[in-house]
Structure 1
Amino acid sequence: MRREIEKSDFVVVVITQNYVQRFNRQTGPGIGSGVRWEGALITADLYHSRRERAKFIPVVLRAEDISLIPSPLNLTSWFVIGEKADADITRLTRVLLRDPGELPTELGVSASSPGVAFHFDGIHASSEVDRAFAVAGQGDAHGAIRQLDALLQNHFGDERAYILFLQGVLHHKIGEVSQAQACFQRVIETSGHSSLLESAVQRLQVLFAEFQAHFGEGGPVDTATKWLVNVKRGKRREVWKTLTRELRLCLAQDWIIANEGHPNLIPCDRDELAEALAAKNPIHPLGKHCLRSKLQVFQDHYRRWDIDRWGAAGNPRRIGLDYELIVMAPADEGILVTRNDETLPVYAILMRKIGFDWLVANLGPAYPIPGWPPSAEEIPTELVSFKATDI
């Protein structure tokens, strides 16, 4: 069991009442020993891993069973997968396949093999279209989109709409939501093919749901914006409790190191002090000093940000299961702009979803790592790069 867990990318944990009792060691001797051992392995991995990227994925059959998810598994994302034959496992499947942009075949289209264009009765595009689309299967989605774009001028009617549909699929696959939305909208406006229209509409609905999850109330953009407002207003308690525990602990450790020679800190055990200061609502006498100092750091860092003149730039940048990078940039009446060819000034905020809530995980694209001193692990550039085409 230990070896299998160590070599797995993900471990799906199906939560039931019996499982929880065994996980929490609430059964009699000799009952549920396997789950008890598994629970010990999971708990140790969650608490002692170098960073907290979700590996263990709790799932429940019914929404009312969410409350059964044991700690610490309830500190990550969970999925309600249903208990009937028509259960919806789409979101879970996307995570397991590491492919959040791909849709399952039941949403209207299917492919005979990876990289081969979708089939719609009555639409007979040239073999060039299939070859262009297949370039994405070789890892070059942008190249495939460019080749398909060059073919548009030679196709008309439903064949042209079909190429637009393929471009929309590829844009969605690589996270370019607005571009995908435009492609599917053009399909709807220009095609009369019923199956193609139905598939385009279904994919637009999925895109809208993803857009709402990203930009809507309670989503990562909304949370990041409200956090920045609290930073500007100097609400240090609200600012502090919206941070992940890992970031609060790193900031507390950094503050202790910076003030380690102060008479008020000398009698304190630094590990105990760091834990006390890292609480959501620290009651330690030194808490107000730490929070005031860190609020000043935040205000200095985000001094150029203004809610009336800045907005979230581009498409969602999902990182793994629980993280998302928000990029704030200057805006003019909702349109992100640069002037006189200047470099676009941006603020990146790493967000993490814990349960239903999004929290600020760092002030840039790196995972915070508590320690003496605290450090950070940079997120690979290809996952977080910010391009003009994202605007």
Structure 2
Amino acid sequence: MEVLEASRLATTGGRTEAINRLRGLVGNPDHRIAAHAAYTLGRIYQEDNLFTNAISAYQRALDFGPLTGVAEDAARNLQLTIDSMQAHYGEGSATDAGHQWLEHIKHGRMKDAWKGIDRTTRLVLTQAWIVANERHPTLGGIDRDFLAQELAKAEPTHRLTAAFFATQLDELQNSYSAYDPETWGAAERPRPYGVDYEAVIMAETSGEPFMWEDGQELQTIFLLLRRRFTRWYIASFRAEILNPGWPPTSTPIDIQNITWRVPDSQDR
């Protein structure tokens, strides 16, 4: 009964109170009650995309044995959570792409980093550079639209590519000088936007996943990535969509945390 009440409390806005109650119930001497509490706790964490906490809770539910009534569901949801965590952090994920891109910047591999930037964003960066340097004699007599298109290519060959890349790399290395792949980890909760965008937030956490909440005082790196086909590309460096133009502009966006309800055995 107490577990059920806590579960209902979680669905009516009392999530923190529900979590505290369930944590206490996990220590109940009745293993059936303790297992149900751990399982319900896992479901709450899973709905909030708090992978590490959900995995720990489901594993605790399984520790109480197969006769508690929740072992089968706990095992199923445990695997679903592990799969979700792998999708968020593993090879081919937005988080993985963000780490690879930052490593290119850190080691001065501007050609590789440039290929990892979304094509629209590459155009915006070239336009911004041209606007900032429009009076420089090296740009004299060059059509700005032509130059922007040439420099925005994934592998530009224009004679001004070296100068452009040098400026971009210097700015990016200054912006992300604190990043260290050995000590910086990505926030645990996925932050999707629309169909093809996802925000990745990183901070110094000894390389471990961390749970970052809005308003938290912590030095972070924010990257907005865009998926094209099966690959993720850097789309923006703040919570905004970049728009090409003379000059380029940006549109602020609100990154929402997508939550989803984990089905209980009673729902099936």
| 1:269 aligns to 2:143 (yes or no) | yes
Where do 1:11-22 residues align within 5 Å? none
Q: Please, which of 188, 191, 197 is the counterpart of residue 314 of structure 1?
A: 188
Aligned CA distance change for structure 1 residues 205 and 154 (closer, same or farther; 3 Å): closer
- Which has the higher mean CA deviation after the structures are superposed, 175-184 or 283-292? 283-292
- Give the drift of 1:180: 0.9
CA contact (8 A) 2:65 2:71 kept: yes
CA contact (8 A) 1:240 1:248 kept: yes
Where do 1:208-227 residues align within 5 Å? 208-227=82-101
CA contact (8 A) 2:9 2:15 kept: yes
- Give the drift of 1:380: 2.0
- Give the drift of 1:154: 5.9
Could you give the per-residue CA deviations for residues 102-122 of structure 1, whole angstroms, max 9, x where no partner exists?
A: xxxxxxxxxxxxxxxxxxxxx
Counterpart secondary structure, 1:367: strand
**Cα distance in 1 between the residues matched to 2:32 and 2:69:** 11
- Give the drift of 1:141: 4.1
Could you give the per-residue CA deviations for residues 259-289 of structure 1, whole angstroms, max 9, x where no partner exists?
A: 1112333433333322222211122222332
Alignment match, 1:6: none
Alignment match, 2:242: 368
Alignment match, 1:279: 153
**Cα distance in 2 between the residues matched to 1:379 and 1:140:** 28
Higher RCO by CA contacts (8 Å cutoff, separation 6 or greater): 2
**Cα distance in 1 between the residues matched to 2:135 and 2:257:** 40
Q: Please, which of 173, 197, 221 is the counterpart of residue 71 of structure 2?
A: 197
User: TM-score, normalization: structure 2?
Assistant: 0.82
- Give the drift of 1:373: 2.4
The amino acid across from 2:142 in the alignment is C
Q: Please, which of 242, 263, 271 is the counterpart of residue 116 of structure 2?
A: 242
**Cα distance in 2 between the residues matched to 1:177 and 1:195:** 23
**Cα distance in 2 between the residues matched to 1:378 and 1:294:** 23
Alignment match, 2:134: 260
The amino acid across from 1:249 in the alignment is L
Alignment match, 1:70: none
CA contact (8 A) 2:191 2:256 kept: no
**Cα distance in 2 between the residues matched to 1:170 and 1:202:** 15
- Which has the higher mean CA deviation after the structures are superposed, 267-276 or 171-180? 267-276
**Cα distance in 1 between the residues matched to 2:199 and 2:117:** 14
Counterpart secondary structure, 1:264: helix
| 1:332 aligns to 2:245 (yes or no) | no
- Give the drift of 1:196: 1.4
| 1:162 aligns to 2:65 (yes or no) | no
Aligned CA distance change for structure 1 residues 251 and 134 (closer, same or farther; 3 Å): same
**Cα distance in 2 between the residues matched to 1:327 and 1:177:** 16
CA contact (8 A) 2:9 2:18 kept: yes
What is the aligned-residue RMSD (CA, Å)? 2.7
| 1:323 aligns to 2:168 (yes or no) | no
The amino acid across from 1:211 in the alignment is M
Counterpart secondary structure, 2:134: coil
Alignment match, 1:229: 103
Fraction of identical pairs, as percent = 32
The amino acid across from 2:180 in the alignment is D
- Give the drift of 1:201: 0.9
The amino acid across from 1:260 in the alignment is E
CA contact (8 A) 1:351 1:359 kept: yes
Could you give the per-residue CA deviations for residues 215-261 of structure 1, whole angstroms, max 9, x where no partner exists?
A: 22222222222211111121111010101112111111111110111
**Cα distance in 2 between the residues matched to 1:194 and 1:355:** 44
**Structure 1 residue ranges (4+ consecutive) displaced by more than 6 angstroms after TM superposition:** none
Could you give the per-residue CA deviations for residues 315-364 of structure 1, whole angstroms, max 9, x where no partner exists?
A: 3333333222222222337587xxxxx95322122222221112112223
Counterpart secondary structure, 2:200: strand
The amino acid across from 1:324 in the alignment is E
- Give the drift of 1:147: 4.5
Counterpart secondary structure, 2:137: coil
The amino acid across from 1:251 in the alignment is L
CA contact (8 A) 1:158 1:192 kept: no
**Cα distance in 2 between the residues matched to 1:207 and 1:346:** 25
- Give the drift of 1:187: 0.5
Alignment match, 1:129: 3
**Cα distance in 1 between the residues matched to 2:74 and 2:59:** 8
